[in-house]
């Protein structure tokens, strides 16, 4: 044993054997989805089908939001100068931070704290949420997860909550978020939606993910989306073009349904 | 229309509506897996269940290879200095290149060229493969996808080809790769396996993916794996430790089966 | 004026004219050093020769620290996989964080707070420093800038302070740092040095740089150093080698003097 | 000696001693400029004052080109989302590639090949350049270093060549580049300038730098420039703003002279 020897609990490699969290990877292939494999490697245990389906829904919901998010713009700005794909992808990932994609983690922390406080101090749920919203308002602090800079009613949120209900992930944290939104709108006279990042944060709390991994769901989902944009830039646009952050038109397939 | 206006065909954003390749994202949620969503955004069309399953198998096969790959080492080296997760992930992605993760794309190019040549010139399949292998040998050029620096028989390859057969992705490119391996071993008197990257490259050819996206499958799969390693580094290791590239031991769950 | 029009105060570009902070760049060429140009672009004003020389000393002091720093290891780990130089450099820069290269900014904040407190509250200098050190000790908080994980007497620190004295940058912040070290060692019975990052932090305070730019000096200095290591990796090492974090030997020129 | 032991020739670290290319770093501090230190670490030998001055001129010339270059836009796009400075800088560096900042290396390769050919084949200089330009024209290949997308007469080029002449770096490669430009304009009836990247490439050839380091000069120079833009973004702009690639106005100091 060398003096620098260290320990890891994720994957064991032996000659002709690769075991992820104990499971031979060739046993997993074909038996679980990629989403279930993601859950396994992050949480250490195999998810059942309901968990797997919830993972699929969360990751599908965030796969892309068009050409205007700053991560996409940074990725294609890099691609336009002739970068290899992985470098452009890295530039995009470095552009996912507090103000873009960061609402998931912020929401999780807030909901976990609020629910914990209610339980520890044995508070009335609705009163506690009302106090929380009032306090935020007085301090002029933004609540992550409430409001979207573009959508007045985020179409992904309802669908996410509907499945969360159906699949058994609609517990205290989801309830708290819905209550926060209701009270926020009552007090402020506004009609702001819960955005998808906030909704995902609430569901990830129900699934028992640590807050530190919250934004990683946004990143894991957005990676294939950014790759699609990088590939489009490389194959259809002129090198080194000036990229306008909003003035573009969509030329893909018209609306269609499954 | 501004003079910088540009066109994109991936996702259309309208108020309260997000359409990926034409499909409202809230319609997709719960109806397709994340792997199918990845196929949709990259190829532009919804995959059927067989394609979706093949995607799951490919991405699951590559999700992690323990703590020794250079991408993982770069990611945790960055994490150990106190980097945020996305920065460490970017460092890892920047460490996936020609000599690590690059075999997928190399294999695809080679197989597409070889199959095209055989068809265009109406060559005998086995003779053409033999000539190809001899030519590589004479030029002392390595064939990507043949051999693994650790495994003598990559356990993921057989499983991948088995499902490719079952799901209908075992065409000319897979056949060519198997033939290349056979002839290479005959000529060289070696017994080298097809590695998983090579096998994935062959199957991606069958699925019609452009070669430029080959290495992206390695990256998309490895992203959650690297996140697991970064999180482990942040939560279980001492800041700024010296990271030995091989001398570590596995302390996770013992071998188990589904 | 478009609705997205924005303002910048760094460089004005006109046809055949490039003015950095107001100065035509072709006028600057040959009249100022690169270090002076760095000062100009960061602070907005041309430095005199003393400031320029202090910049040269700070940046030269940090240009490299051999092959063991994590930033260098991340950079060459990336390079060994076949990355282009800028990608490897980016991986290295992403590995400069709180626990590596972060002492400059930490030191600056601490010294600025301490000096401000002494002046505002009209405290006795030595008493205030003693209280500060005792307080840190009681809270078991590490003081950035004191101690080095390798050197017991950082050879760069004395030289830096000597020039700071000579060039007029040896004011309250430098005095405070020296006093902190003295009292820390008296109280703890240790004999820890001021490390070069701490010393640089103190001098940057004297030069009026904002704390937010502190670590950037480490990065600006280390960029050419990392490039040298990346180039060495690319031109003298085998692709994809396993990189030991400490077990290497030096084969360059023997000790020599100007 | 461990089995992974490796060799490096850049910096030797001993307790209380740091020797860059053999020179104790504390001996270098105050005796050489940062530019000379850069030369030393990259080339392995101490430069004289003329070389040092030429380095200062090259690096000063490229320190910034305002807010429109893609590297700057990627860096501030990342910064606007709340990234730490090093992550934004990395995003910027990942956006310096073939089509932006890549002309230095391209120029160097071309000039070295051309000069070598002339000498090996004992060709008439002017005839060989003419043939070279005609050949490029016939093949519709762009000559890097000729033309600028904004400036019709790059003000940095004349100044660079003037100093190269004065300091002794105006040899065959510079002569070849000037001749290429002259013949290109004669043949095409255009009046394109030599851009600063091309001129720097020619001078770096005279200084004996390997072509692989050509673009690194652009990057080393641009790092402080990008840091200035990132800092400006963080301290003066709204988070997550939409960044127009061209529509901005300059609000810094008016034109002034040394």
Q: pLDDT tens digit string along A37-51?
A: 999 999 999 999 999
Query: Taking CB atoms and an 8 Å limit, are A78 and D80 in contact across chains?
Result: no
Would C227 be classed as within a structural domain? yes
CATH number for the domain that contains residue D154: 1.10.230.10
Closest by Cα among A78, A108, A107 to A95: A78
Is the same domain home to A31 and A108? no
Average pLDDT in the C83-95 region? 98
Is the same domain home to C133 and C122? yes
Is the same domain home to C211 and C178? yes
Q: Which residues of D touch A (CB under 8 A)?
A: 68, 70-71, 73-74, 77-78, 80-83, 87-88, 90-91, 94-102, 149, 239-240, 242-246
Would B255 be classed as within a structural domain? no
Is the same domain home to C109 and C209? yes
D-chain CB neighbours of A80 within 8 Å are 70, 99
Query: Taking CB atoms and an 8 Å limit, are A41 and B228 in contact across chains?
Result: yes
Answer yes or no: is pLDDT of C238 > 80. Answer: yes
Is the same domain home to C38 and C60? no
- Nearest CA-CA distance, residue B97 and chain A, Å: 8
**Would you tell me how many other CB atoms lie within 10 Å of the CB of residue B146?**
22
Q: Tokens in use for A216?
A: 């990683």
* Cα–Cα distance for residue pair B173/A133, rounded to 1 Å: 60
- Nearest CA-CA distance, residue A87 and chain C, Å: 6
Find the closest chain A residue to C3 by CA distance: A246
Reported confidence tier of residue D1, pLDDT bands at 50, 70, 90: low
Answer yes or no: is pLDDT of D153 > 90. Answer: no
**Which subunits count as partners of chain B given 3+ CB pairs below 8 Å?**
A, C, D
Would C90 be classed as within a structural domain? no
Reported confidence tier of residue C144, pLDDT bands at 50, 70, 90: confident
Is the same domain home to C57 and C151? yes
Average pLDDT in the B45-73 region? 97
* Cα–Cα distance for residue pair D28/D235, rounded to 1 Å: 35
A-chain CB neighbours of D70 within 8 Å are 77-78, 80-81, 240
Domain count, chain C: 2
Among B4, B84, B245, beta carbon nearest to D84: B84
What is the DSSP secondary structure assignment for residue D140, as one 8-state letter?
T
Answer yes or no: is pLDDT of B1 > 80. Answer: no
Average pLDDT in the D40-65 region? 98
Would C174 be classed as within a structural domain? yes
Query: Taking CB atoms and an 8 Å limit, are C60 and D29 in contact across chains?
Result: yes
Determine what percent of chain C is predicted with pLDDT higher than 90.
93
Answer yes or no: is pLDDT of B149 > 90. Answer: no
B-chain CB neighbours of A34 within 8 Å are 33-35, 55-56, 59-60, 63, 221
Would D251 be classed as within a structural domain? no
Average pLDDT in the A10-25 region? 96
Model ipTM value:
0.97
Domain that includes residue A39, residue range:
10-47
Is the same domain home to D131 and D202? yes
Answer yes or no: is pLDDT of D151 > 90. Answer: no
pLDDT at B2: 86
Is the same domain home to D139 and D151? yes
* A154 or D63, higher pLDDT: D63
Backbone angles phi, psi at C141, to 5 degrees: -95, 135
Would A86 be classed as within a structural domain? no
Q: Give me the DSSP letters along B195-243.
A: PHHHHHHHHHHHTT--GGGHHHHHHHHHHHHHHHHHHHHHHHS-TT---
Query: Taking CB atoms and an 8 Å limit, are C257 and D11 in contact across chains?
Result: no
Is the same domain home to B124 and B33? no
- Helical axes C214-236 vs C49-61, angle rounded to 10°: 50
Q: Tokens in use for C80?
A: 């060994």
What ranges make up the beta strands (E) of A119-192?
none
Would A166 be classed as within a structural domain? yes
Query: Taking CB atoms and an 8 Å limit, are D22 and C252 in contact across chains?
Result: yes
Determine if the pTM surpasses 0.90. yes
Average pLDDT in the C153-181 region? 96
Q: Burial, C253: exposed, middle or buried (Cβ in 10 Å; 0-12, 13-18, 19+)?
A: middle
Run of H or E residues at A37: helix A34-43
* D148 or C127, higher pLDDT: C127
Average pLDDT in the B161-190 region? 96
pLDDT at B152: 87
pLDDT at A150: 82
- In chain B, % helix, strand, coil (3-state, to 5) comes to 55, 10, 35
Run of H or E residues at A68: none
Is the same domain home to B29 and B55? no
A-chain CB neighbours of D80 within 8 Å are 70, 99
Query: Taking CB atoms and an 8 Å limit, are A86 and C87 in contact across chains?
Result: yes
Q: Give me the DSSP letters along C108-150.
A: HHHHHHHHHHHHHTT--HHHHHHHHHHHHHHTTPPPTTB--SS
* Cα–Cα distance for residue pair A118/A125, rounded to 1 Å: 7
Q: How many CB pairs under 8 A join A and B?
A: 366
Query: Taking CB atoms and an 8 Å limit, are A74 and D91 in contact across chains?
Result: yes
Is the same domain home to B20 and B118? no
Average pLDDT in the C10-30 region? 96
- Nearest CA-CA distance, residue D155 and chain C, Å: 6
* Cα–Cα distance for residue pair C88/B97, rounded to 1 Å: 11
Q: How does pLDDT run across D79-135, given as a tens digit for each residue? A: 999 999 999 999 999 999 999 998 899 999 999 999 999 999 999 999 999 999 999
Reported confidence tier of residue A1, pLDDT bands at 50, 70, 90: low
Would A248 be classed as within a structural domain? no
Find the closest chain B residue to A45 by CA distance: B253
Q: How does pLDDT run across D164-202, given as a tens digit for each residue? A: 999 999 999 999 999 999 999 999 999 999 999 999 999
Query: Taking CB atoms and an 8 Å limit, are B78 and C70 in contact across chains?
Result: yes
**Would you tell me how many other CB atoms lie within 10 Å of the CB of residue B31?**
15
* Cα–Cα distance for residue pair A29/B156, rounded to 1 Å: 8
For residue D24, the cross-strand partners are D19
Q: How far is CA C54 from CA C158, C206, D41, in A?
A: 14, 11, 20
Average pLDDT in the B220-244 region? 97
- Nearest CA-CA distance, residue B242 and chain C, Å: 6
Average pLDDT in the B111-131 region? 97
Q: Which residues of C touch A (CB under 8 A)?
A: 4, 84, 86-87, 90, 94, 245-246
Q: Tokens in use for D42?
A: 């990259």
Q: Burial, C20: exposed, middle or buried (Cβ in 10 Å; 0-12, 13-18, 19+)?
A: buried
Q: How many CB pairs under 8 A join C and D?
A: 365
What's the angle, vertex CA B191, arms to CA B188 and CA B194, rounded to 5?
105
Closest by Cα among D148, D221, D202 to C17: D148
pLDDT at A38: 98
The total number of residues shown for chain C amounts to 258
What ranges make up the beta strands (E) of chain B?
6-8, 11-14, 17-20, 23-24, 248-250
Find the closest chain A residue to C246 by CA distance: A4
Is the same domain home to C54 and C37? no
Find the closest chain D residue to B246 by CA distance: D4
pLDDT at C1: 64
pLDDT, averaged across chain A: 96
């Amino acid at each position: 044993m060398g003096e620098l020897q260290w320990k890891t609990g994720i994957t064991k490699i032996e000659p002709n054997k690769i075991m992820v969290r104990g499971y031979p990877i060739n046993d997993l292939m074909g038996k679980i989805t990629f989403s279930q494999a993601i859950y396994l490697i992050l949480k250490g245990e195999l998810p059942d089908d309901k968990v797997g389906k919830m993972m699929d829904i969360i990751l599908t919901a965030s796969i892309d939001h068009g050409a205007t998010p700053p991560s996409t713009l940074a990725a294609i700005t890099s691609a336009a100068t002739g970068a290899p794909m992985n470098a452009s992808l890295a530039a995009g990932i470095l552009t996912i931070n507090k103000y873009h994609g960061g609402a998931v983690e912020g929401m999780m922390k807030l909901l976990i704290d609020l629910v914990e406080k209610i339980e520890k101090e044995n508070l009335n749920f609705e009163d506690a949420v009302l106090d929380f919203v009032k306090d935020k308002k007085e301090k002029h602090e933004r609540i992550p997860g409430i409001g979207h800079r573009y959508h007045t009613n985020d179409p992904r949120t309802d669908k996410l909550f509907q499945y969360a209900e159906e699949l058994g992930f609609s517990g205290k944290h989801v309830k708290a978020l819905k209550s926060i939104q209701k009270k926020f709108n009552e007090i402020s006279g506004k009609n702001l939606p819960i955005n998808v990042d906030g909704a995902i944060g609430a569901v990830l709390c129900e699934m028992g993910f640590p807050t530190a991994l919250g934004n990683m769901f946004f990143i894991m989902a957005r990676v294939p989306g950014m790759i699609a944009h990088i590939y489009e830039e490389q194959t259809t646009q002129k090198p080194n073009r000036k990229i306008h952050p909003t003035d573009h038109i969509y030329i893909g397939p018209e609306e269609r349904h499954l």
